[in-house]
A and B are shown apart, each in its own frame.
Chain A
Amino acid sequence: MAPIRWLRRRLVVIAGLLTLGYLLLPNIVVTVFSFNNPKGRFNYEWQRFSTDAWTDPCGVADLCGSLSLSLQIAAWATLGATVLGTMIAFALVRYRFRARGAVNSLIFLPMAMPEVVMAASLLTLFLNLGAQLGFWTILIAHIMFCLSFVVTAVKARVMSMDPRLEQAAQDLYAGPAQTFLRVTLPIAAPGIAAGALLAFALSFDDFIITNFNAGSTVTFPMFVWGSAQRGTPVQINVIGTAMFLVAVLFVLAGMVISNRRNRQKAS
């Protein structure tokens, strides 16, 4: 009886950890196979241990070029989407205006639309306008689909903000611009940062919309897609693993710092 009861108490925990394992399994495989020395062009079967790829991550033609292009596009798309999205979020939370419902729908629809539909229709527009496909069309598309996510993230934060804080600033001789810079913006910053981070991740990892609107330009996800057809170099596993580690370390460092700061304050 005892082991069954033990199991029943921990059923949720066990199931949850199994799901976590399912989520992380591919990352483990990617990491392990970044040390593979595959036979042939595809890196799907384990052969023998090697650190060749780690010592020469740019050893494959165009790989690092596509990576830097992706990072560039992600940076600009994040900037654009964050600025535009934050403005919309503030307008939605802080003001009453006409056409509110229409604006809300316009924000919601891109999130409720399969990427392939947006990708195809945007390509139709670009073809009709005779636009040159490449860096700019990708950037336009990325800002478009990141915008809604930024609005949602910032809106949540601004909504939970006490409007009396801004009134207090006004009461203490801060004009509208000063109030925004000194009070509103710093308090909304975590929401804006979350939106920006989300936008960066979405843009960096986007494949479907980029694939439609890139022309002959190759971003990192498109490079990976191409290599899935032609042959997967070990280096893409190296890049994938490195990105994963950087992200985890980044977040953990942030957590440690904020923990320490809180502890200091408390003492």
Chain B
Amino acid sequence: MSTVTDAPPLAPAPAPKERPPRKRRRLTPYWLLLPGILWLLVFFALPMVYQASTSVQTGSLEDGYQVTWHFATYWDAVADYWPQFLRSIVYAGAATVLCLVLGYPLAYLIAFRAGRWRNLILVLVIAPFFTSFLIRTLAWKTILADSGPVVGALNSLHVLDVTSWLGITAGDRVLATPLAVICGLTYNFLPFMILPLYTSLERIDGRLHEAAGDLYARPFTTFRKVTFPLSMPGVVSGTLLTFIPASGDYVNADLLGSTDTRMVGNVIQTQFLRILDYPTAAALSFVLMAGILAVVTLYIRKSGTEDLV
């Protein structure tokens, strides 16, 4: 039985002897964050500052560089290399669209139709990562070789005539053309599309399909009105994870392309590592970064998915 008293004043509570974890707990998150965040600040954020300052320096390798607020470097860089910028955006955009078109059926297959094969297919999507992507990209040189069966088939089907007319292949070759680069980019970043798509598709309750069917939606309408909208988070993060690295990539353009398919990544790499024109290289990568951040921000706003991380 209990009594609730008219609050007889308790004997004054003994002074709290220990109150240790409570105060200290307020500092815990900062200690946890400190090393990692410091690492990112010093080796990610600080380099950006250095690069920003490099991009407005003038001078030469021999005499050293000084900050002269020489913004003209930016104009020169854009004026000289706008075709490469344009190519980067077009190639990366095309690869992203292709990844979405190719990746969606596979992600859908894994999520809803694979049954007991689901894990095996997932492993097969991820396992190629462990073969160095450079080796795999080199394999495309063999696959798309001029005398190989793929090019032969495309030729006899007159597909290459169409792509030539579109300007993404030249003559009866695929290698060293934009098509080869786009094909390589698509291949390389496809898993980055499939995995987020799969994650968001897998979360969808299968009964929703039945419900939609029950409410007179044909399979394709079900997909358009129910499945696809619900997979939007996957679509958004998949397209970002594909577009961003693709737009800065220079490996595919180098291995599968020609001097006519050089992307902005190739220019930055050459300027930095071969020509040693640091201000131009820094300015170029700043323009690329600004462009991508703008695209990403706009895209995230538009699609209304703020919660990507």
Main secondary structure of the interface of B (DSSP, over half): helix
| Chain B: minimal CB distance from A266 (Å) | 17
**Would A23 and B123 be within 8 Å (CB), given that A15-B105, A29-B139, A232-B138 are in contact?**
no
Interface residues of B in 76-130 (CB under 8 A from A): 102-103, 105-110, 113, 119-121, 123-130
Tell whether, in the assembled complex, residue A13 and residue B109 are in contact, meaning their CB atoms are under 8 Å apart: yes
Tell whether, in the assembled complex, residue B135 and residue A224 are in contact, meaning their CB atoms are under 8 Å apart: yes
Contacts of B119 in A (CB 8 A): 255
Tell whether, in the assembled complex, residue B51 and residue A124 are in contact, meaning their CB atoms are under 8 Å apart: yes
**Would A84 and B36 be within 8 Å (CB), given that A116-B250, A221-B132 are in contact?**
yes
Q: How far is A27 from B224 in the complex, measured between Cα atoms in Å?
A: 34
Tell whether, in the assembled complex, residue A246 and residue B130 are in contact, meaning their CB atoms are under 8 Å apart: yes
Interface residues of A in 147-205 (CB under 8 A from B): 147-148, 151-152, 155, 176, 201, 204-205
Contacts of A17 in B (CB 8 A): 106, 109
How many contacts between A and B, using CB within 8 angstroms?
263
| Chain A: minimal CB distance from B299 (Å) | 11
Q: Flag A229-259 by CB within 8 Å of B: 1 or 0 each.
A: 0001000110111011011100110010000
| Chain B: minimal CB distance from A100 (Å) | 9
A7 is an interface residue with CB less than 8 A from chain B: no
**Would A30 and B29 be within 8 Å (CB), given that A88-B36, A106-B41, A125-B50 are in contact?**
no
Interface residues of B in 236-284 (CB under 8 A from A): 240-241, 244-245, 247-251, 255, 265, 268-269, 272-273, 278, 281-282
A35 is an interface residue with CB less than 8 A from chain B: no
A19 is an interface residue with CB less than 8 A from chain B: yes
Which of B6-14, B140-148, B151-159, B209-217 forms part of the interface with chain A?
B140-148
**Would A122 and B240 be within 8 Å (CB), given that A30-B136, A117-B285, A243-B132 are in contact?**
no
| Chain B: minimal CB distance from A229 (Å) | 9
**Would A128 and B282 be within 8 Å (CB), given that A27-B128, A116-B248 are in contact?**
no
Residues of A within 8 A of B (CB): 12-13, 15-20, 22-27, 29-30, 33, 44-45, 84-85, 87-88, 90-91, 94-97, 103-104, 106-118, 120-125, 127-128, 140-141, 143-144, 147-148, 151-152, 155, 176, 201, 204-205, 207-208, 211-212, 220-221, 224-225, 228, 232, 236-237, 239-241, 243-244, 246-248, 251-252, 255
21 contacts between A and B (CB under 8 A): A13-B109, A20-B121, A23-B124, A26-B128, A26-B140, A27-B127, A27-B139, A30-B135, A44-B142, A45-B142, A84-B35, A87-B35, A106-B37, A113-B248, A116-B285, A117-B248, A121-B51, A122-B47, A208-B250, A232-B138, A252-B123
Residues of B within 8 A of A (CB): 21, 28-30, 32-33, 35-37, 39-41, 43-48, 50-51, 54, 102-103, 105-110, 113, 119-121, 123-143, 145, 187, 190-191, 194, 240-241, 244-245, 247-251, 255, 265, 268-269, 272-273, 278, 281-282, 285-286, 288-289, 292-293, 296, 308-309
